[in-house]
Structure 1
């Protein structure tokens, strides 16, 4: 039931207490009574009787805060890191790996990894010097060498490196032809991108070192990929044929030089042999000349017989005049000899051989108009 009900009932709790009408209590009195009760419950005494509980509490709180502040100052720097210490926001020193302590709220430590090799990829479609579109993917590997510069030279070192890498790739690809980017010039493009990236980062001095640059992929747009694949295959075949031709040239050239040397030596040997044979013939005829001058007919006949002996010894076919009948007989002696070796000679073959034995060996007795071998030719040749 409300204290101020209608009808004149006044049940105000701040009035009529102790038989007198009073207002609400004073706030100062309320707080004094509260602190007094707190002091009594803690066994404290008044101002003239010793320390109050409020002083002890403040001391404990202060000690606890100091302990928390000291404990919060311990930190650890890992083996691969170096710590950049800032005192009130200003660079103070570097700290090595290990367990360290710093005054909290005074020093700030920023750990920086200086041993791990980091990767930064970049990819995009670019226009080459010959106005072709090519998609290039590259990855740069880098390492932090100066922690302070890496932290404070630029606002965001990784973003700066990414933008510099994109700029370097587009510059190099824009000054290269598509064939160089896709095939034979990939290594040149990779090296040029690295040099251009280092030149871009040098003014920024962000404290990193480029370890390596990898060209992961370079390909034409998908719409013309098949045509470029055929072109690349043709270029690879061309290079393979060139290498095979060079290998064949290296193989055949020593062999050809050997053949040339052998032919030169054979020609020199032939020259010496012919010269010696000619000199021998000259010496033989020089010895024969006095004999011919002493007996011309006998010497001529002997020379003729020796010549015919050499001629008939090197041929297997003979033409024989059939005793002035006007018919020329052909004797394939090679075939006859083969048959003699395989079978017994027949009667016709025996008659032929008998006819050969009866041939006049003196060509002077043979008529000059029907002979197969005319003596007057040899005679005229000798004369």
Structure 2
């Protein structure tokens, strides 16, 4: 139930009693006056007089005390607001530059600090935060072709003092320097290099040149990385450029196949050539050794011939006939000074005898039998030669 409704307790929520049926909201003048009295009591002033106040001197004294109390309160509030605005905090990723009377005073590190405006001016910047500037423009290459290059620059504030004091608009200087550095690098490169494998190298060159510009201008900015995100010809000539790219890829593919074939054939050819050289050297060494052996044999034979000419001549004759008739199956034995000739049917001796053939299919004559026959033939030849020489000696006498 409301306080002013019938049956209520007539309790005024603003502290007043029920003064009648016309009771309304509190008087704002009374509220302000009460607040003023409280401030005066706090700051040394007395209470103001009521409607039936004292003399005029007492009223002037109360007014002056109230004015002085208000002034002191305003000063205290102003001091509190000043200190509140002068105290500031610098985060770990920030640095602050303090100017005193317009001149550089100090660079503030992270922590809680205070400065004194308007005598001092504070510039607080984030120095570790990486910022990005994107650029996309068409430019001319060294071989007079137009390419469209998209680039991004990542940077931060390296020297906050230079960033604040040296250049009025360092970010605009960075943008203009980025365009200049990119145009210089692209203008010094050919179109094929810009569009294919030269992007990474271009990014490194642009970053170096851009950092040199920033150091020369004294902007205090540090360029961390430059990315050449895309490089392509204008849309009007894109189809022709694709044809050129495919042709170059076909050329490179053909070169790779040729290199692979050469890598396969050349070692084989070199190996074959080396083998022929080795065979030729071996054949030469063989011929030289054989010639040297024949020459040494001839010299030894000459010395033997000088000691025994007849025996040596007979031996040479026999060896020659043996080499000539060695492939035949018949042996003829001729005796000097006689007409007798002995015929040895070696062809039949080599044939297996039907009656004496063994069960395992071997021939009738063994190797021992052949050796015995050869020894008998040799003895017979020696005997005939001796008899022929003795008969020749008797005739001579």
- Give your verdict on TM over 0.5: yes
Q: Is the 8 A contact 1:114 1:143 kept in 2?
A: yes
- Counterpart residue number, 1:306: 323
> Match of 2:106, SS?
strand
Pairing partner for 1:197 from 210, 219, 237: 210
Q: Is the 8 A contact 1:77 1:98 kept in 2?
A: yes
Distance 1:76 1:201 in 2: 29
Equivalent pairs counted in the alignment come to 277
1:126 offset after TM fit, Å?
A: 1.3
Distance 1:196 1:161 in 2: 12
- Counterpart residue number, 2:85: 72
Q: TM-score, normalised by structure 2?
A: 0.58
- When structure 1 is superposed on structure 2, of 57-66 and 230-239 the one drifting more is 230-239
Cα deviation 1:24-43 (Å, max 9, x = unaligned): xxxxxxxxxxx9xx922599
Structure 1 residues 268, 89: CA separation in 2 closer, same or farther (over 3 Å shift)? same
Structure 1 residues 249, 186: CA separation in 2 closer, same or farther (over 3 Å shift)? farther
Structure 1 residues 269, 95: CA separation in 2 closer, same or farther (over 3 Å shift)? same
Distance 1:293 1:138 in 2: 108
Gaps of 5+ in 2: 1-35, 37-46, 330-360, 362-397
Pairing partner for 2:49 from 35, 40, 45: 40
Gaps of 5+ in 1: 1-34, 313-343, 345-383
- Counterpart residue number, 1:113: 126
- Counterpart residue number, 1:133: 146
Q: CA RMSD in A?
A: 3.9
Pairing partner for 1:101 from 114, 120, 125: 114
Structure 1 residues 185, 303: CA separation in 2 closer, same or farther (over 3 Å shift)? same
1:135 offset after TM fit, Å?
A: 0.4
Structure 1 residues 294, 48: CA separation in 2 closer, same or farther (over 3 Å shift)? closer
- Counterpart residue number, 1:211: 224
Matches within 5 A, 1:220-259: 220-236=233-249, 238-239=251-252
Distance 1:197 1:262 in 2: 61
Structure 1 residues 151, 256: CA separation in 2 closer, same or farther (over 3 Å shift)? farther
1:123 offset after TM fit, Å?
A: 1.2
